Amino acid sequence: MIPYAESSAILSWLLGERRGATVRELLAGAELVLASELTVLECHRALLRAVHTGRMAEGEAGDLRGRLSHASLHWVLLAMDSEVLERARRPFPGEPIRTLDAIHLATALTARSAVPNVALLSLDERVRRNGAELGFQLLPPLVP
Protein backbone atom coordinates (compact mmCIF):
# COMPACT_ATOMS: atom_id res chain seq x y z
CA MET A 1 0.00 0.00 0.00
CA ILE A 2 1.34 3.41 -1.02
CA PRO A 3 -0.63 6.33 0.42
CA TYR A 4 -0.75 9.92 -0.71
CA ALA A 5 -1.09 11.55 2.73
CA GLU A 6 -3.31 14.60 2.84
CA SER A 7 -3.05 17.09 5.72
CA SER A 8 -6.30 16.18 7.54
CA ALA A 9 -4.95 12.67 8.14
CA ILE A 10 -1.50 13.82 9.20
CA LEU A 11 -2.96 16.39 11.60
CA SER A 12 -5.21 13.72 13.09
CA TRP A 13 -2.14 11.61 13.81
CA LEU A 14 -0.06 14.51 15.15
CA LEU A 15 -2.82 15.82 17.41
CA GLY A 16 -3.81 12.41 18.75
CA GLU A 17 -7.36 12.67 17.43
CA ARG A 18 -9.79 9.76 17.27
CA ARG A 19 -8.62 8.40 13.90
CA GLY A 20 -4.97 9.35 14.49
CA ALA A 21 -3.91 5.88 15.66
CA THR A 22 -5.31 4.35 12.48
CA VAL A 23 -3.45 6.91 10.38
CA ARG A 24 -0.22 6.19 12.29
CA GLU A 25 -0.62 2.45 11.62
CA LEU A 26 -1.24 3.06 7.91
CA LEU A 27 1.83 5.29 7.64
CA ALA A 28 4.00 2.83 9.58
CA GLY A 29 2.89 -0.09 7.39
CA ALA A 30 3.32 1.72 4.07
CA GLU A 31 6.09 0.68 1.73
CA LEU A 32 6.32 4.33 0.63
CA VAL A 33 4.49 7.51 1.70
CA LEU A 34 3.81 10.30 -0.76
CA ALA A 35 2.74 13.76 0.36
CA SER A 36 2.62 17.26 -0.99
CA GLU A 37 4.84 19.99 0.35
CA LEU A 38 1.43 21.54 1.05
CA THR A 39 0.68 18.78 3.58
CA VAL A 40 3.70 19.69 5.68
CA LEU A 41 3.02 23.42 5.32
CA GLU A 42 -0.61 23.04 6.42
CA CYS A 43 0.45 21.03 9.46
CA HIS A 44 2.99 23.66 10.50
CA ARG A 45 0.38 26.41 10.06
CA ALA A 46 -2.17 24.46 12.12
CA LEU A 47 0.35 24.16 14.95
CA LEU A 48 1.09 27.89 14.78
CA ARG A 49 -2.64 28.65 14.94
CA ALA A 50 -3.05 26.35 17.92
CA VAL A 51 -0.31 28.17 19.83
CA HIS A 52 -1.53 31.65 18.91
CA THR A 53 -5.13 30.87 19.86
CA GLY A 54 -4.08 29.37 23.21
CA ARG A 55 -5.17 25.81 22.39
CA MET A 56 -1.60 24.50 22.67
CA ALA A 57 1.58 25.48 24.49
CA GLU A 58 4.62 26.34 22.38
CA GLY A 59 6.58 23.44 23.91
CA GLU A 60 3.96 20.93 22.80
CA ALA A 61 3.83 22.48 19.33
CA GLY A 62 7.62 22.27 19.13
CA ASP A 63 7.50 18.57 20.01
CA LEU A 64 4.86 17.97 17.32
CA ARG A 65 6.86 19.95 14.74
CA GLY A 66 9.83 17.71 15.55
CA ARG A 67 7.70 14.57 15.15
CA LEU A 68 6.41 15.89 11.79
CA SER A 69 9.90 16.78 10.59
CA HIS A 70 11.25 13.37 11.57
CA ALA A 71 8.39 11.50 9.87
CA SER A 72 8.47 13.59 6.70
CA LEU A 73 12.18 12.81 6.21
CA HIS A 74 10.97 9.34 5.20
CA TRP A 75 8.28 10.57 2.81
CA VAL A 76 8.51 11.55 -0.82
CA LEU A 77 7.40 15.19 -0.84
CA LEU A 78 5.86 16.34 -4.10
CA ALA A 79 6.19 19.94 -5.22
CA MET A 80 3.31 22.21 -6.09
CA ASP A 81 4.70 22.52 -9.60
CA SER A 82 3.10 23.88 -12.78
CA GLU A 83 1.51 20.49 -13.60
CA VAL A 84 -0.17 20.30 -10.20
CA LEU A 85 -1.32 23.92 -10.28
CA GLU A 86 -2.68 23.57 -13.82
CA ARG A 87 -4.72 20.50 -12.81
CA ALA A 88 -5.96 22.26 -9.67
CA ARG A 89 -7.39 25.04 -11.85
CA ARG A 90 -9.70 22.60 -13.62
CA PRO A 91 -12.96 21.18 -12.25
CA PHE A 92 -13.17 18.13 -10.02
CA PRO A 93 -16.13 15.73 -9.88
CA GLY A 94 -17.52 17.03 -6.58
CA GLU A 95 -17.37 20.80 -7.00
CA PRO A 96 -17.28 23.14 -5.28
CA ILE A 97 -14.08 22.35 -3.40
CA ARG A 98 -11.58 24.58 -1.64
CA THR A 99 -8.34 25.65 -3.29
CA LEU A 100 -6.06 23.66 -0.98
CA ASP A 101 -8.21 20.56 -1.46
CA ALA A 102 -7.89 21.00 -5.23
CA ILE A 103 -4.11 21.18 -4.87
CA HIS A 104 -4.09 17.97 -2.80
CA LEU A 105 -6.26 16.17 -5.34
CA ALA A 106 -4.16 17.43 -8.24
CA THR A 107 -0.99 16.29 -6.45
CA ALA A 108 -2.52 12.87 -5.80
CA LEU A 109 -3.40 12.56 -9.50
CA THR A 110 0.16 13.49 -10.43
CA ALA A 111 1.48 10.94 -7.94
CA ARG A 112 -0.80 8.27 -9.42
CA SER A 113 0.63 8.90 -12.89
CA ALA A 114 4.04 7.85 -11.51
CA VAL A 115 2.84 5.27 -8.94
CA PRO A 116 -0.36 3.65 -10.27
CA ASN A 117 -1.39 1.91 -7.04
CA VAL A 118 -1.33 5.04 -4.84
CA ALA A 119 -4.20 5.31 -2.35
CA LEU A 120 -5.63 8.54 -0.95
CA LEU A 121 -5.12 8.88 2.83
CA SER A 122 -7.51 11.60 3.97
CA LEU A 123 -10.10 12.21 6.66
CA ASP A 124 -11.64 15.18 4.84
CA GLU A 125 -15.04 14.20 3.43
CA ARG A 126 -14.81 16.52 0.38
CA VAL A 127 -11.38 15.20 -0.54
CA ARG A 128 -12.50 11.60 0.01
CA ARG A 129 -15.65 12.05 -2.08
CA ASN A 130 -13.67 13.53 -4.97
CA GLY A 131 -10.93 10.93 -4.57
CA ALA A 132 -13.49 8.13 -4.84
CA GLU A 133 -14.97 9.69 -7.98
CA LEU A 134 -11.45 9.94 -9.41
CA GLY A 135 -10.94 6.21 -8.80
CA PHE A 136 -8.65 6.27 -5.77
CA GLN A 137 -8.69 3.62 -3.07
CA LEU A 138 -9.53 5.54 0.10
CA LEU A 139 -7.67 5.21 3.39
CA PRO A 140 -8.58 4.67 6.08
CA PRO A 141 -11.53 2.53 5.04
CA LEU A 142 -14.78 3.78 6.51
CA VAL A 143 -16.07 1.74 9.40
CA PRO A 144 -19.85 1.20 9.16
What H or E segment, with its residue span, contains residue 138? strand 138-139
Give me the CATH code for the 2-139 domain, please: 3.40.50.1010
39 falls in which pLDDT band (50, 70, 90)? Answer: very high
Peptide bond into 91 cis (omega under 30): no
The tens digit of pLDDT for each residue in 50-79 reads: 999 999 999 999 999 999 999 999 999 999
138 falls in which pLDDT band (50, 70, 90)? Answer: very high
Q: What is the 3-state secondary structure (H, E, C) of 87-133?
A: HHHCCCCCCCCCHHHHHHHHHHHHHHHHCCCEEEECCCHHHHHHHHH
Give the full edge-to-edge strand order of the sheet including 138-139. 76-78, 34-36, 2-5, 118-121, 138-139
2 falls in which pLDDT band (50, 70, 90)? Answer: very high
Q: Which amino acid makes up residue 104?
A: H
- Residue ranges per structural domain of the chain: 2-139
pLDDT at 144 over 60: no
CB 126, CB 11: distance < 8 Å: no
| pTM across the whole model | 0.94
pLDDT of residue 143: 60
